[in-house]
Amino acid sequence: MKRLIFTFIVFLVGFAKAERLEVYGFDQELIKVNDIYFIKNLEIFELQGNSFGKDYKYRVEKDTNFVDLAYQLKVSYYELKQANPDINPFKVPKNTYIKVPLKKQLPEDFKLNTVYISTQDHRLYYPIELEGKKYVITFPVGLGGEDFPTPKGEFKITERRVNPDWVVPPSAKINNPNLPPVVPYGSPENGLGTRALRLNGSSYMIHGTSKRSEKGVGMNISYGCIVLRNNDIERLYNFVNLNTTVIIY
């Protein structure tokens, strides 16, 4: 009997904590940085030390799944999955409350104007200073999986490309031997999207994606590259120059 009472109390405490979360929803306030707009508290956050943001709760409006919800809410699939372990990610009924995890941290020793990519969060972070305050621009990213993991470490951007052709790496040939040596920009088989930032002169890049693969951003969908939605990589492209430091951790 005591154990049942204890379990019930734990349940109530957990439920109360969940209910204290603010309801997800933004007034679409925009912050302009170098003539580029970002949604406040969704794409750009004011930093408090190395921390920012907060978690929300969101009531699902129709039967859905975490892939579609992640795309809608601009978070990654794995962020939703980790924050809501008791919900079936493939079947989320209408009116279900889910946790939207937007409370994050940068590395303690972070530097401004440096690109940080968290393989745990499946997120890219770019801290900046604006009118004497520190902010961080952030987007969900797709990464490589177990077979083609995204490398960790410190890198430099050594090439910037607009509307890039895709030079097909050997790893992609393994999955699709029919791919040509080079897939031109605009082809549905070209997964680089509208922008590409090469790391250390290697085959690894931060790049966009094809329209049919945009919902996969936030999952393990690449051959080791860091993949953003085209609207996100196009805005990031305007901030990062050659030799910008990229730290993947």
Question: Each residue of 234-243: b (16+ CB within 10 Å) or e?
Answer: bbbbeebeee
pLDDT score for 167? 87
pTM of the entire predicted model: 0.87
Residue 60 has pLDDT above 60, yes or no: yes
Residues with Cβ within 8 Å of 202's Cβ and at least 6 positions away in sequence, in order, are none
pLDDT in tens, 181-194: 898 898 888 889 99
Q: What pLDDT, on the 0 to 100 scale, is given for residue 189?
A: 80
- The strand pair at 166-167 and 133-140 is best described as unpaired
Instruction: Express as a percent the part of the chain with pLDDT over 70.
Output: 91
Alpha carbon separation from 88 to 35, 85, 91, 92, 204 (Å, rounded):
41, 8, 5, 6, 33
d(CA 72, CA 67): 9
Q: Mean pLDDT of all residues in the chain?
A: 89
Question: Average pLDDT for residues 156-180, to the nearest whole number?
Answer: 88
Sequence-ordered alpha helix ranges (H) in the chain: 2-19, 66-73, 77-83, 170-175, 230-237
pLDDT band at residue 5 using 50, 70 and 90 as cut-offs = very low
